[in-house]
Amino acid sequence: MITEQKKQNMKLIIAIFLLVLILILVAIMLLKYEVEGEQDMPFKLSKIIIVSTAQGVDKEESDLPWDFNVYQKNDVNFYIDANEKTKNNNDLLIKSVEISNIVVEKAPEKGTVKAYMPNSNAGGKFVYSDEFLVNEKLTYKGASQSSSTNLEVGSKGGEVYISFCNTDIGRYSSKDTKEQIKQDGSLLKKIDATMEQISYTVSFDLTIETTKNKYKANIVLDMPTGNLIEEGRTYLEKTDMKDIAFKRVK
């Protein structure tokens, strides 16, 4: 015959078992969230494109026909799209997209890595001068459509840009007026730089703020892409975002 005390003990054991089970399930859900992040964001990062090349930046007050520093640049484009439900919801918009906490995780053997915003003047998308350096963060405001020169991103989805440039890798000088100079990765050959010497890894936070919530993910990228020295200009398109977990910012 089961005594009242035994009944109470059994109830206690069952309660403890259920509590432990609930805690395990919660821990599994939290771990899954940490690894996978938000699964139904109104706006998602759908694609990252990296275009890598090199260019010569002329030295001032030089009498030589060819006298420049070699920079290796990586233009990064982020594509942000609305999901199907968000497309028809006029109240759910992108307020801003921010790139912050930029860290050079692995520095190159040659050169210094700097981040640049798109230039607001006429001409090319990026100008590698101190005027356009990204210091603490780069913020794109939501607008009717994306505009890199105005640092705006479409409120229903669009593109944002940043460029990571390895500056002052080396200097090239020549008196040969007939020499053909090509503004691409082949310049690295002229200063005897190898891919191993110029390769680096950069990390940063990408934050998408909507009219309802804010989401942030840490992104790590290896640069430059491909065999830049031989190809001159390389292109990488990333559409698999399983390694990038966006989490809600409270």
The span from the CA of 34 to the CA of 246, in Å, is 9
Coil, strand or helix: which one is 228? helix
The span from the CA of 82 to the CA of 101, in Å, is 25
Per-residue pLDDT tens digits for 110-163: 999 999 999 866 556 888 888 899 988 999 999 999 998 899 999 999 999 999
The span from the CA of 106 to the CA of 121, in Å, is 32
* Average pLDDT score over the chain: 88
pLDDT at residue 29 in the model: 65
149: left (phi over 0), alpha (psi -120 to 50) or beta: alpha
> What number is the average pLDDT over the span 5-29?
73
Higher pLDDT, 219 or 86: 219
Coil, strand or helix: which one is 216? strand
3-class SS shares of the chain: helix, strand, coil, % to 5: 20, 45, 35
Element (H, E) at 93: none
Please state, in angstroms and as integers, the Cα–Cα distance from residue 148 to each residue in 151, 170, 194, following that order: 5, 30, 32
Across 26-35, 176-185, 187-196, which has the greatest mean pLDDT? 187-196
Please state, in angstroms and as integers, the Cα–Cα distance from residue 137 to each residue in 52, 151, 250, following that order: 22, 12, 19
Among the listed residues 150, 135, 116, 141, the one whose alpha carbon sits nearest the alpha carbon of residue 207:
141
Within 10 angstroms of residue 93's Cβ, the number of other Cβ atoms is 19
The span from the CA of 222 to the CA of 236, in Å, is 11
Question: Model-level pTM?
Answer: 0.83
61: left (phi over 0), alpha (psi -120 to 50) or beta: left
